[in-house]
């Protein structure tokens, strides 16, 4: 039974396996019907994950592929300031995929989503030579509470909502098991969890709006790296930034790998930490910060001049915003 | 320049090529923000199209892949009674894909969408060994105007909005060019267009709501075949149907192929005609019918007994709804 393949089951059989992870009635109509609150706007975001590009059997179980797919999309909603309403799942996969793999994928999706009462409201399953998971998430937001990348203003401080570099370190641990020796089991688990089960920071949005319902906040998530997020916000807002390198919190567990690994680089460019990078008034940032856990910090401020300066402990690096990484180049390999 | 490959351009370069087909500002934030009218509900639908499963270079240009992807999703919105608000495009493709192919794909998407003032509001592009196009479309509908599959009642008549079998015939013409000889150029073009550039019947929804704003209508589209649609509506509604075979309009052009091809089967099971199959009160159906073009007809009625009878010219076929095709089985080959 556990060795059953997708091609043995057919599409209808597979849909029956997936049904338990979706609200009743979702599977059956041409589309899903969803309520949206009066005066709210709809926010939509899409991510595509491809086997052997974004995940691999070596580092990611089917459950974790599901979890990460859901987390990445919910993180994009958080980055827009929105509350999630639902997701759709477009799944293509070879007929020789095991049915158990598909069930675990949906378990992972469902487990991440249910933390935020977010249903899978629709989808499509089809045959392909390559497993591909295409998620579209949608949420609702009051127009004045939209968080965009283009509103950062001189005087705003830059707040990050947690540690960076942990997801990249977790990946490294999975790829190079000998690194484990520097860490105790709890520390290993922390880094691997950061990679396999990242948490979208929807909690930050709820806290922010409790403190300041109408405050204008600019920002995005750090899914493509902290450095990338700062560069993109500056470019979209037509401003620059000063980053105090010593203000970026270092996770003690990550520090234990720093003699063997480029942990400083992972903090800036590792990506997939799914924290939020927010630009907002200093006082509001302080208030929000007192509500957030360790790893959250104010790491710099926005300035008029369109250059990003990183004040390090020994050196100062300064670059024009147009020179900075345009983010992960999916086709550059 | 025309031989430029996706991998030469990188993700950012590719996004610049796509920008002309999206509203200003769409590419840049973590998600798209969209207005939805007060009191309306959101409708969401997803389709995944995979190279060599749903399309092939032999029968479908990049433009047509785009057109058909958009049309299939807009047809699902029409099938729900919704007006389109936008789509997202999740595209995965090999680095050796030509940039021209990607541009043509977006031209096709855009050309189909702009007939209904529907924007591409977001997406994701990533690397894969197989070209995969995952579209999510969303629309808005007043709660009382939702068209579901589960409300068909005894006494409703069954209305189809156009000819069936033409898309399947168009595909056959592309695969077997010798069939062309039975047809003149205009007739060939008609069938091939039915296959390559199907029209979502959003116009029918507009006409229906002009005639009867609040009428309860049940139905779906015939994307998986006319027979499949009737069977699904009956199953979801817990009813049966009587179909008058002679009432199903035969397109004169399709008739010219009937000595060489199983055209009767194509009409019932060909699929991808993207017409609507609606169950509604007889008087409303008559009124709507007078507003629709040739190929539209009332072809039967709903009955209590949960069996579907097809009254043919020579024989009567009758089957239990549970026996009827469960639709195209993507994994059955």
Q: What is the pLDDT of residues B226-257, one digit of tens each?
A: 999 999 999 999 999 999 999 999 999 999 99
ipTM for the complex? 0.87
The answer to whether residue B333 scores a pLDDT higher than 60 is no
Determine contact: A7 vs chain B, CB below 8 A. yes
Q: Is the pLDDT of residue A19 over 80?
A: yes
Taking only the tens place, the pLDDT of each residue in B60-114 is 899 999 999 999 999 999 999 999 999 999 999 999 999 999 999 999 999 999 9
What number is the average pLDDT over the span A6-10? Answer: 87
Phi-psi region of B71 (alpha: psi -120 to 50; beta: other; left: phi over 0): alpha
Instruction: Give yes or no for residue A327 having a pLDDT over 50.
Output: no
* Tens-digit pLDDT profile for residues B188-206: 999 999 999 999 999 999 9
Res A314: pLDDT: 62
Q: Is the dihedral of CA A254, A256, A258, A260 positive or negative?
A: negative
Residue A258 pLDDT more than 80?
yes
Q: How confident is the model at residue A25 (pLDDT cuts 50, 70, 90)?
A: low
Q: B327: pLDDT confidence band, cut at 50, 70 and 90?
A: very low
Q: Tell me, what's the pLDDT at A329?
A: 38
Residues flagged as binding site of B: 30, 45-47, 54, 76, 106, 123-124, 149, 221, 223-224, 272, 328
Subunit contact A132:B132, Cβ cutoff 8 A: yes
Query: In chain B, what residues touch A327 (CB-CB under 8 Å)?
Result: 11-12
The candidate with the shortest Cα–Cα distance to A97, out of A126, A63, A66, A131, is A131
What pLDDT, on the 0 to 100 scale, is given for residue A313?
61
Partners of residue A122 in chain B, C-beta under 8 Å: 44-46
Share of chain B above pLDDT 70, in %: 92
pLDDT score, position B328: 34
Task: Report CB contact under 8 Å: B149, A28.
Answer: yes
Contact status of B268 with chain A (Cβ, < 8 Å) = no
Average pLDDT, chain A: 90
Separation between Cα atoms, residue B325 and residue B227, nearest integer Å: 8
Determine how many CB atoms are found less than 10 A away from the CB of residue A294. 10
Q: CB–CB of B297/B249 below 8 Å?
A: yes
Contact A44/B76, CB-based, under 8 Å? no
Average pLDDT over residues B279-284: 97
Q: Is the pLDDT of residue B326 over 50?
A: no
DSSP secondary structure code for residue A242 in this structure:
E
What are the tens digits of pLDDT across the range B127-185? 999 999 999 999 999 999 999 999 999 999 999 999 999 999 999 999 998 898 899 99
pLDDT tens-digit map of B301-311? 999 998 999 88
Cβ distance of B30 and A79 shorter than 8 Å: yes
Interface contact B30, partner A, CB < 8 A: yes
Res B317: pLDDT:
74
pLDDT of residue B177: 86
Q: What does the pLDDT read at residue A20?
A: 85
Could you tell me the domains of chain A? 6-142 (3.30.1330.10), 157-323 (3.90.650.10)
Which region holds residue A109: left if phi is over 0, alpha if psi is between -120 and 50, else beta? alpha
Whether B167 has its CB under 8 Å from any CB of chain A: the answer is no
Cβ burial of A123 (10 Å; 0-12, 13-18, 19+) is buried
- pLDDT value for B314: 62
More confident position, B32 or B192 = B192
Name which of A38, A37, A48, A45 is nearest A80 in CA terms. A45
- Shortest Cα distance from B285 to chain A (angstroms)? 21
Q: Is A289 on the interface with B (CB under 8 A)?
A: no
Q: Whole-angstrom Cα distance, residue A271 to residue A229?
A: 10
């Amino acid at each position: 039974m556990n060795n059953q393949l997708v091609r043995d089951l057919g599409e209808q059989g597979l849909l029956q396996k997936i049904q338990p992870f979706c609200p009743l009635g979702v599977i059956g109509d041409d589309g899903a019907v969803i309520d949206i609150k009066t005066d709210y706007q709809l926010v939509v975001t899409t991510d595509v994950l491809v086997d052997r590009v974004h995940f691999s059997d070596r580092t990611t179980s089917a459950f974790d592929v599901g979890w990460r797919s859901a987390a990445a999309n919910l993180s994009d909603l958080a980055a827009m300031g929105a509350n999630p309403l639902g997701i759709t799942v477009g799944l293509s996969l070879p007929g020789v995929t095991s049915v158990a793999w598909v069930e675990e994928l949906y378990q992972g999706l469902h487990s991440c989503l249910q933390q935020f009462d977010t249903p899978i409201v629709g989808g499509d399953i089809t045959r392909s030579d390559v497993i591909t998971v295409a998620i579209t998430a949608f949420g609702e937001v009051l127009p004045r509470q939209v968080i965009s990348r283009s509103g950062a203003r001189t005087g705003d401080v830059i707040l990050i909502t947690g540690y960076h570099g942990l997801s990249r370190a977790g990946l490294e641990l999975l790829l190079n098991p000998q690194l484990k020796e520097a860490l105790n089991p709890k520390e290993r688990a922390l880094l691997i969890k950061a990679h396999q089960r990242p948490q979208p920071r929807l909690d930050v949005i709820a806290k922010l709006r409790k403190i300041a319902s109408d405050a204008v906040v600019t920002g995005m998530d750090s899914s493509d790296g902290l450095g990338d997020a700062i560069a993109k916000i500056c470019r979209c807002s037509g401003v620059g930034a000063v980053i105090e390198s010593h203000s970026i919190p270092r996770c003690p567990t990550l520090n234990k790998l720093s003699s063997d690994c480029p942990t400083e680089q992972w903090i800036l460019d590792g990506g997939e930490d799914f924290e939020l990078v927010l630009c907002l008034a200093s006082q509001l940032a302080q208030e929000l910060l007192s509500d957030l856990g360790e790893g959250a910090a104010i790491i710099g401020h926005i300035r008029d001049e369109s250059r990003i300066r990183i004040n390090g402990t020994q050196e100062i690096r300064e670059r024009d915003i147009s020179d900075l990484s345009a983010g992960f180049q999916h086709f550059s390999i």
